Amino acid sequence: MIEFMIDLQGGGKAPLYEKIYGYIRDEIAEGRIRRGEKLPSTRLLAENLAVSRSTVEMAYEQLLAEGYISAEPCRGFFVCDITGLYRLRQSVSHPQTEAAHGRERVKVDFSPNAVDTRAFPFHILRKINRTVLSDDTEELLEAGDRQGEYALRNVIARYLHQARGVNCRAADLILGAGNEYLQLLLTQILGAGRTVLMENPGYPQAYRTFCNAGYRVKTFCAGGKGAVCEEAQRAGVDLVYVMPSHQFPMGTVMPLNQRIKLLEWAAADEGRFLIEDDHDSEFRYRGRPIPSLQSIDCHEKVIYLGTFSKSIAPSLRISYMVLPPVLLERYQRVCGFYSVTVPRVQQETLCMFIGDGYFERHLNKMRGVYRDKRDFLLRELKKRDWAGHIGGESAGLHILVEVRTAMGEKELCRRAEERGVRISGLSEYMLGSEICGGERGPRLLFGYGKPDEAEMGQGLFILDCILKEEQK
Amino acid sequence: MIEFMIDLQGGGKAPLYEKIYGYIRDEIAEGRIRRGEKLPSTRLLAENLAVSRSTVEMAYEQLLAEGYISAEPCRGFFVCDITGLYRLRQSVSHPQTEAAHGRERVKVDFSPNAVDTRAFPFHILRKINRTVLSDDTEELLEAGDRQGEYALRNVIARYLHQARGVNCRAADLILGAGNEYLQLLLTQILGAGRTVLMENPGYPQAYRTFCNAGYRVKTFCAGGKGAVCEEAQRAGVDLVYVMPSHQFPMGTVMPLNQRIKLLEWAAADEGRFLIEDDHDSEFRYRGRPIPSLQSIDCHEKVIYLGTFSKSIAPSLRISYMVLPPVLLERYQRVCGFYSVTVPRVQQETLCMFIGDGYFERHLNKMRGVYRDKRDFLLRELKKRDWAGHIGGESAGLHILVEVRTAMGEKELCRRAEERGVRISGLSEYMLGSEICGGERGPRLLFGYGKPDEAEMGQGLFILDCILKEEQK
């Protein structure tokens, strides 16, 4: 019989049973009691330690639950075989408290996906949040509708119909935490072994999501001579991913006759679908918004993706997807068990923000803010000798500028970054290894979502300096 | 040359250019002007309509942008070929405003995944939310860290180390909108073609996520004689998905010697990994929490998954995953481009909730609340003749009860649902087509997270009635 020497005074104010448990656990773990050995009975150990029997019983129960000892009816408690454990415990170390990574100092941020945060109506958000979190909100804690709350889907469906001509009901909408999540979900709905055609350059994130899902991805040059439906026919794909109202990053609009042909291509085979990514069509500065591809689709072939990342904020993480009936049915069958990825408090907040008219007001205001910033940027660029052809200026939150210099695009961006100007070149948006557009000078994406006029001026001045140095 | 008869008085208060655009668009769409026809010059049309030339120019620009017309230098504007469009536009209908689906009346909800919302500290949440949304919060709108905000990951890492012995740094943690999302992400990190072993019954969601990813899933009976590592060896898998501290739905704890052998099995091949789903280990009512499998892993083989769905609320949608170094590196390479799926406001709120000690207090309080409810339920069940063996009562938010009746499990659940009692049978958690445990009477999962004592009493009374009727 083993004798235990347990120090019940030491070890701080932990409960007695924990001290007994901890002592015996360590004795077993460190191999000082061997497997198969019998432990003293609870009565005996309780007497020896001058504690109550139930204290010892609790310690033994914990050892039993974790598997250090086993109980054999009418015989008592025996040490289990845990060979290998002592060796394992040695490597356990405490978590380091690392310092947060210092983000590099960016003075001017021309990122094409950033938004203007200065004009955000925080007071409205605070007000709505207070309302949402007020008294009777227990329901908010419970798991909600898997597609997203019905009321929110309903206001989004109405908005999409009015603003983008999208033909949908709340029931056709699925909410998700960002476009990438919805694309991930979409690959599960569409199933394995698909082939998809994408415009190049385009969204590398979408490209990589398809690649990760094992899809074969074919690309063709955006803005080239070829029509997209002919490319789809030639490439033998069954999915086409397009941004017809405002191609990212080129800023082009797909002409109506190409849209019609693309819809006809999709309608010709029941396995074919079009994925319309309508990422920033809220912001168009010349004339009316270009209607969505989905709005003229009568064959139920368009999967429509949209987001509040640009119209409200990237950190909001709310996107939506409109599925045609056949895919909605497949979603319910294959993916219907996934919980919604957007928190309910956030959903209620957005629902009120749209439903009470704040969203429309915010959009109208931001359209003005962005138009002014765009106009300023265009005026400033036109003063520069180095600024060549300018594209994509009618919509979205960035413009594409050809730079007249002998410097390489990557080199130019790197030098800008060194001086605190974050700007990306078109090559960052090339999908896979293919390069479209042939040998040309640098083409830069000037996102004007984030910087104000002073910052844009500063950024352009720094680019002036870099390009002047190069000429010498 | 076409002559246009445009009614500029009608059509409400739309801008003039929109009326001109809309008229010409409809003429083209409905085939009244044919492709190739030349439009009047902007000067001529402006004179005819007695509007300014820039108004006509804006209308033409919109038609150009959408692809209804094309411009030929020095020749003018021509109608494009849009054959097929008129046919397409016909089917466009307005979105119906459906009535919200009336949810069936549930009086007593024994769902195993629901939580008690009555005791939730809403006033704290409101207070923290106010602080988070106060003045200098522009940064909150911008896209944040892709793994989740560093400060939040840091407090979670510290909590995991203290509460679950998990050996991790903030850098090893990835936040996501729910366990299912993280499992989805995990399949992308681990790559295609994997074979995974799961205990049966288990989490059908995890099972289906693996199936959707194209994984071969093998199952074995939870609580059976076979040790999990032997099953893994026999099944020839490279992944094992386990809930060692509290198997769902059986409520069993994996003994220490099995854990060690499982870790050794994983260490024997570099492609092998263990997925530890530690879903509700916060709530253990007898003794100390069972340490995590990850805490005794020195070969960096355990992928640790946890969630705030049970410890705070399912609707919060915040889960976390601790990756071993080799998979973290793969995550950064393959999935590093995915934005975090948790909104930043939500992250900041949770960070304060944990960091300021509210989470710990909430957990301690809820542990008491759930213990009382569990004790009540156990006492009440012991009064019933029909309640046979009771399992899984030491931890979690549900207990498993064998029911002595000739009625089938599905029939019993269906009759309960008819009378407003939502309760699930064990068979709902069987993975795939395999049935474990052989021929037995109904086994019900009594989740006590949601109902209060009165509701549980009512639910048991209704079950009494159903089972008594059957006996007659």
Please state at what angle helix A344-355 crosses helix A122-132, rounded to 10 degrees.
Answer: 120
Q: Do A92 and B167 touch (CB under 8 A)?
A: yes
B310 and B165 within one domain: yes
Dihedral class, residue B292 (left if φ above 0, else alpha if ψ from -120 to 50, else beta): beta
- Residue A145 is predicted with a pLDDT of 92
- Residue B117 is predicted with a pLDDT of 86
pLDDT(B437) > 80? no
Output DSSP code: residue B448.
-
Does ipTM top 0.90? Answer: no
Contact by Cβ (8 Å): B242, B228: yes
Choose among B70, B256, B341: nearest Cβ to A177. Answer: B341
Choose among A65, A138, A212: nearest Cβ to B287. Answer: A65
Cα dist. A246→A178, A258, A284 in Å? Answer: 19, 14, 9
* Mean pLDDT value of segment B58-73: 85
Most confident of A119-133, B212-226, B360-374: B360-374
Residue-wise pLDDT for B69-109, tens only, equals 888 888 899 988 877 664 444 334 444 444 444 445 788 99
* Mean pLDDT value of segment B377-395: 93
In a domain, B251, yes or no: yes
- Residue B444 is predicted with a pLDDT of 96
A144 and A114 within one domain: no
Nearest-CA distance from B408 to chain A in Å? 25
In a domain, B424, yes or no: yes
N-term to C-term CA, chain A: 91
- Residue B15 is predicted with a pLDDT of 84
Q: Do A85 and B167 touch (CB under 8 A)?
A: no
CATH number at residue A399: 3.90.1150.10
Nearest-CA distance from A464 to chain B in Å? 28
- Residue A124 is predicted with a pLDDT of 87
β-sheet bridge partners, residue A174: A321
Instruction: Note which residues in 171-190 of chain B have CB less than 8 A from chain A.
Output: 171, 177-178, 180-181, 184-185, 188
Q: A86-95, A340-349, B267-276: lowest mean pLDDT where?
A: A86-95
- Residue A149 is predicted with a pLDDT of 94
Helix, strand, or coil here: B452? Answer: coil
- Residue A390 is predicted with a pLDDT of 93
Contact by Cβ (8 Å): B345, B132: yes
CA closest to A318 among chain B residues: B343
Q: How confident is the model at residue A91 (pLDDT cuts 50, 70, 90)?
A: very low
Between A375 and A469, the more confident residue is: A375
Between B65 and B325, the more confident residue is: B325
Q: How far apart are CA A208 and CA B310, in angstroms?
A: 33
Q: How confident is the model at residue A100 (pLDDT cuts 50, 70, 90)?
A: very low
- Residue A342 is predicted with a pLDDT of 93
In a domain, A132, yes or no: yes
Helix, strand, or coil here: B320? Answer: strand
* Residues of chain A positioned with their CB less than 8 A from the CB of B66: 253, 255-256, 290-291
Q: Which domain holds residue B54?
A: 16-79
A45 and A163 within one domain: no
Instruction: Note which residues in 407-446 of chain A have CB less than 8 A from chain B.
Output: none
* Mean pLDDT value of segment B214-221: 91
pLDDT(A409) > 70? yes
* Sign of the dihedral through C-alpha B11, B15, B20, B21: negative
Instruction: Note which residues in 363-382 of chain B have CB less than 8 A from chain A.
Output: none
Q: How far apart are CA A419 and CA A421, in angstroms?
A: 6
CATH number at residue B35: 1.10.10.10
Among A359, A386, A420, residue at a domain's last position: A359
pLDDT(A135) > 70? no
CATH number at residue A324: 3.40.640.10
Give the H or E element holding residue B71: strand B69-72
Residue-wise pLDDT for B158-173, tens only, equals 999 888 889 999 999 9
Between B400 and A97, the more confident residue is: B400
Q: How confident is the model at residue B435 (pLDDT cuts 50, 70, 90)?
A: low
pLDDT(A170) > 60? yes
- Residue A101 is predicted with a pLDDT of 42
Please state at what angle helix B122-132 crosses helix B344-355, rounded to 10 degrees.
Answer: 120
Contact by Cβ (8 Å): B112, B249: yes
pLDDT(B5) > 50? yes
In a domain, A85, yes or no: no
In a domain, B336, yes or no: yes
* Mean pLDDT value of segment A103-127: 84
pLDDT(A128) > 60? yes
* Residues of chain B positioned with their CB less than 8 A from the CB of A342: 177, 317, 343
B102 interfacial to chain A (CB closer than 8 Å):
no
Contact by Cβ (8 Å): B443, B403: yes
Number of domains observed in the structure of chain B: 3
Nearest-CA distance from A450 to chain B in Å? 9
- Residue B101 is predicted with a pLDDT of 42
In a domain, A246, yes or no: yes
- In chain B, count of helices (H) and strands (E)? 15, 15
List, in order, residues 6 or more apart from A254 with CB less than 8 Å away. Answer: A228, A242, A244, A245, A247, A262, A293, B67
The label of the residue with tokens 């009336």 reads: B102
- Residue A1 is predicted with a pLDDT of 62
Residue-wise pLDDT for A269-304, tens only, equals 999 999 999 988 888 887 777 889 999 998 999 999
- Residue A457 is predicted with a pLDDT of 95
* Residues of chain B positioned with their CB less than 8 A from the CB of A311: none
Joined together, the tokens standing for residue B91 give 């089917």
Please state at what angle helix B453-471 crosses helix B358-382, rounded to 10 degrees.
Answer: 30
* Mean pLDDT value of segment A108-120: 89
pLDDT(A443) > 80? yes
* Residues of chain B positioned with their CB less than 8 A from the CB of A291: 66
* Neighbouring C-beta atoms of residue B265, cutoff 10 Å: 21
B309 and B374 within one domain: no
Among A310, A334, A359, residue at a domain's last position: A359
Nearest-CA distance from B63 to chain A in Å? 10
* Residues of chain A positioned with their CB less than 8 A from the CB of B167: 92-93, 95
- Residue B308 is predicted with a pLDDT of 93
Joined together, the tokens standing for residue A154 give 């309903």
* Neighbouring C-beta atoms of residue A25, cutoff 10 Å: 19
B389 and B300 within one domain: no
pLDDT(B289) > 80? no
Nearest-CA distance from A323 to chain B in Å? 14
CA closest to A205 among chain B residues: B337
In a domain, A426, yes or no: yes
Cα dist. B20→A289, B53, B55, B63, B351 in Å? Answer: 16, 12, 9, 10, 55
Joined together, the tokens standing for residue A72 give 């054999």
Q: How far apart are CA B472 and CA B468, in angstroms?
A: 7
Dihedral class, residue B421 (left if φ above 0, else alpha if ψ from -120 to 50, else beta): beta
Q: Say what percent of chain A tops pLDDT 90.
A: 50
Instruction: Note which residues in 263-282 of chain B have CB less than 8 A from chain A.
Output: 263-264
Mutate to test the interface with A, among B98, B315, B331, B393 (most CBs of A within 10 A): B315
Residue-wise pLDDT for A33-49, tens only, equals 888 888 889 898 888 88
Q: How confident is the model at residue B375 (pLDDT cuts 50, 70, 90)?
A: very high
* Mean pLDDT value of segment A238-248: 93
Give the H or E element holding residue B198: strand B195-200
Output DSSP code: residue B395.
B
Q: How far apart are CA A259 and CA B433, in angstroms?
A: 45
Q: How far apart are CA B60 and CA B68, in angstroms?
A: 9
Q: Do A260 and B82 touch (CB under 8 A)?
A: yes
B428 and B388 within one domain: yes
Selection from B467, B207, B66 nearest residue A291 by Cα: B66
B323 and B178 within one domain: yes
Q: Do B288 and A18 touch (CB under 8 A)?
A: yes
In terms of DSSP H, where are the helices of B133-203? 150-164, 179-190
* Residues of chain B positioned with their CB less than 8 A from the CB of A253: 65-67
Choose among A90, A177, A296: nearest Cβ to B85. Answer: A296
Residue type, B352: M
Joined together, the tokens standing for residue B192 give 């295609």
* Mean pLDDT value of segment A312-321: 91
B101 interfacial to chain A (CB closer than 8 Å):
yes
The CA radius of gyration of chain A, in Å to the nearest whole number, is 31
B151 interfacial to chain A (CB closer than 8 Å):
yes
A31 and A137 within one domain: no
Choose among A118, A129, A142: nearest Cβ to B117. Answer: A142
Q: How far apart are CA A201 and CA A220, in angstroms?
A: 9
Give the strand pairing for A319-322 and A302-307: antiparallel
pLDDT(B39) > 80? yes
Helix, strand, or coil here: B325? Answer: helix
- SS3 of chain A: the string is CCCCCCCCCCCCCCCHHHHHHHHHHHHHHCCCCCCCCECCCHHHHHHHHCCCHHHHHHHHHHHHHHCCEEEECCCEEEECCCCCHHHHHCCCCCCCCCCCCCCCCCCEECCCCCCCCCCCCHHHHHHHHHHHCCCCCHHHHCCCCCCCCHHHHHHHHHHHHHHHCCCCCHHHEEEECCHHHHHHHHHHHHCCCCEEEEEECCCHHHHHHHHHCCCEEEEEECCCCCCHHHHHHHHCCCEEEECCCCCCCCCCCCCHHHHHHHHHHHHCCCCCEEEEECCCCCCECCCCCCCCCHHHCCCCCEEEEEECCCCCCHHHCCEEEECCHHHHHHHHHHCCCCCCCCCHHHHHHHHHHHHCCHHHHHHHHHHHHHHHHHHHHHHHHHCCCCEEEEECCCECCEEEEEECCCCCHHHHHHHHHHCCEECEEHHHHCCCCCCCCCCCCCEEEEECCCCCHHHHHHHHHHHHHHHHHHHC
A200 and A135 within one domain: yes
Q: How confident is the model at residue A225 (pLDDT cuts 50, 70, 90)?
A: low
* Neighbouring C-beta atoms of residue B90, cutoff 10 Å: 8
B101 and B64 within one domain: no
* Mean pLDDT value of segment B253-275: 93
Q: A226-230, A415-419, B441-445, B448-452: lowest mean pLDDT where?
A: A226-230
Residue-wise pLDDT for A344-361, tens only, equals 989 999 999 999 889 988
* pLDDT, chain B, mean: 87
B234 and B165 within one domain: yes
Choose among B65, B309, B314: nearest Cβ to A287. Answer: B65
User: Measured at the alpha carbon of residue B240, what is the angle toward residues B236 and B243, in degrees to the nearest 5?
Assistant: 150
Among A335, A359, A383, residue at a domain's last position: A359
Q: How confident is the model at residue B207 (pLDDT cuts 50, 70, 90)?
A: very high
* Mean pLDDT value of segment A2-16: 77
Q: How confident is the model at residue A146 (pLDDT cuts 50, 70, 90)?
A: very high
Q: How far is CA A105 from the centre of its chain?
A: 24
The label of the residue with tokens 């940027």 reads: A377
Selection from B306, B82, B74, B122 nearest residue A134 by Cα: B122
Q: How confident is the model at residue A27 (pLDDT cuts 50, 70, 90)?
A: confident
B277 and B192 within one domain: yes
Q: What is the DSSP string of B90-123?
A: TT--PPP-PPPPPPP--SEE--TT----TT--HH
Q: How confident is the model at residue A26 (pLDDT cuts 50, 70, 90)?
A: confident
In a domain, B253, yes or no: yes
Q: A4-8, A135-139, B229-233: lowest mean pLDDT where?
A: A135-139
* Mean pLDDT value of segment B4-33: 81
* Residues of chain B positioned with their CB less than 8 A from the CB of A295: 92
pLDDT(B131) > 60? yes
Q: A92-96, A304-308, B153-157, B206-210: lowest mean pLDDT where?
A: A92-96
* Residues of chain A positioned with their CB less than 8 A from the CB of B165: 92
- Residue A274 is predicted with a pLDDT of 97
